[in-house]
Amino acid sequence: MIKNKLITSRDEDFAKWYTDIVKQAHLAMYSGVKGCIVFEPYSYAIWENMQKVLDTKFKELGHENVYMPMFIPESLLKKEGEHVKGFAPEVAWVTQGGSSPLDEKLCVRPTSETLFCEYYAKAVSSYRDLPKLCNQWCSVVRWEKNTRPFLRTREFLWQEGHTAHETAKEAEEETLRMLNVYKDLFENYLAIPVIVGKKTEKEKFAGAEYTLTVEALMYDGISLQSATSHYFGQKFSKPFDVKFLNRQNQLEHVYQSSWGTTSRMIGAVIMVHGDDNGLVLPPRIAPKQVVIVTIKNTEEVLAAAKKLEAELKEAGVRVFVDDSEKSAGFKFAEHEMKGVPVRIEIGPRDLTENKVTLARRDTNEKMDCTLGDVKNKTLTLLDDIHNNMFETALKRNQSKTYICKTMEQAKEIINNKPGFIRAMWCGDEECELKMKELRGMKSRCIPFKEEHLSDTCIVCGKKAKHEVYWGIQY
């Protein structure tokens, strides 16, 4: 495979490779404000496709979209103690409106629990008003020190679901249900295999009873927290006084969940699937699934390209023709950089043989295809590519997942070949902190499907309570 010269090799310098791709595939540009990026049309189109999958699913499950203000008064943010402690150090503050200083400073929402609670306190009075199943698409701001396009930016795009229920059981079911919506998105649309589980007390969301998480592993063995779903119980409804008259005619505080995922998913797609020629996009969220490249713009070639385009559009494929006057090689490289899953090449010689060439982006394999077979072959290929991308990532994850029983093993691995480390843990935060001394490694989650790897905690040797996935994170 010939490497594209515009980008660094990913095995040489992964960080540089990543920013090269962001630039060369026209995904994002830096803005004048540190840590804030411009989502260019191509990354925004990927985001829109992700949104569509999720939004459709949310609505099928009975959720409704709302829009809350972007400003939170300081006093409101402070109502729940753990929550404000978690977020206050990293918010942006508005202190001036027009030419006058404000009486109370307003933070630009880092997340909207407080606003949803204030709303539910007014909107809910009886069990008949429950459940409230709301979601919002918006941007949020967290004044991070170290930023990287898509993965960690001061402003990012996300959705945040906030629900209120009659019973703890319903709220907990919702928490799990929504985690599985994310798992489905990652595996069946983004072709990214994930580990699902529960965060430790130390790593849970500020103010939650517990946090469920979807964790993915990037090509370089670094993990990415990709989506989370929190069970709040009554931890917010009590300080915000969100009460309802229950079926026993008594006032009770609602039980809540919240769940979200962000534009960092775009970063995950780049880092899991990309290669030395650029992006490799999963077909189900690729803005363009197929590009038809004309090798030479004869009348016959152009007509055949248009005909194929119409046929594929008809079949629901996102397809376009590149009949620009650039050389075929240049066009190939451009669409490879952009990660278009399938390329169809048509030239005058192909037409005399009544065929085209299909090239798949994931494996770079090329194959002949008679004109009449293009539609069916392409549809099959799009599914094959998805499956192959998923399998490739899964195999890589497996090869980068290590069972460790001693700290020496863990240290050796994390220093030389990072990935997920599976190890037993006693449940003490102190041991988590000790693990962190190894290159800042954190617990990713206690997996839903725990195995008994050994009897003792990898750190302290005391009786183990849980299997934990550990890893360095983006």
Question: Under the rule (CB under 8 A), what is the footprint of its own copies?
Answer: 29, 31-33, 36-41, 44-45, 47-48, 64-73, 76, 89-99, 105-106, 108, 115, 118-119, 122-123, 134, 138-139, 141, 143, 154-155, 157
Q: Which is nearer to its own copies, 118 or 362 (CB)?
A: 118
Token duo for residue 138: 């918006």
Q: Which two tokens stand for residue 459?
A: 């750190």
- Please say which residue, 93 or 330, places its beta carbon nearer to its own copies: 93
Name the token pair of 406. 């001693």
**CB closer to its own copies out of 154 and 235:** 154
- Spatial separation of the C-alpha atoms in residues 119 and 427, rounded to whole Å: 37
Least distance to its own copies from the beta carbon of 38, Å? 5
Closest separation in Å from C-beta 36 to its own copies: 4
CB of 129 to its own copies, least distance (A): 11
For its own copies, the closer CB: 29 or 303? 29
Distance CA 60, CA 79 (A): 33
Torsion of CA 414, 419, 424, 426, to 10 degrees: 70
Of residues 14 and 143, the one with the C-beta less far from its own copies: 143
- What is the rounded distance in angstroms from the CA atom of residue 193 to the CA atom of residue 260? 18
- Compare residues 151 and 217 and give the one whose CB is closer to its own copies: 151
| Beta carbon of residue 260, minimum distance to its own copies (angstroms, whole number) | 17
C-beta of residue 138 within 8 angstroms of C-beta of residue 156? no
Q: How far apart are CA 19 and CA 216, in angstroms?
A: 20
Buried b (16+ CB within 10 A) or exposed e, 103-121: eebbbbbbbbbbbbbbbbb
Q: Which amino acid is at 315?
A: A
User: Taking a C-beta distance cutoff of 8 angstroms, is the pair 105, 74 a contact?
Assistant: yes
Q: How far is the CB of 447 from its own copies (least distance, A)?
A: 34
Q: Contact 185/271 with Cβ under 8 angstroms? A: no
Minimum gap (Å) between residue 62 Cβ and its own copies: 11
- Give the Cα separation of 42 and 177 in Å (integer): 31
* Pairing of β 366-370 and β 355-360: antiparallel
- CB of residue 158 to its own copies, shortest distance in Å: 12
Nearer to its own copies by Cβ, of 86 and 347: the residue is 86
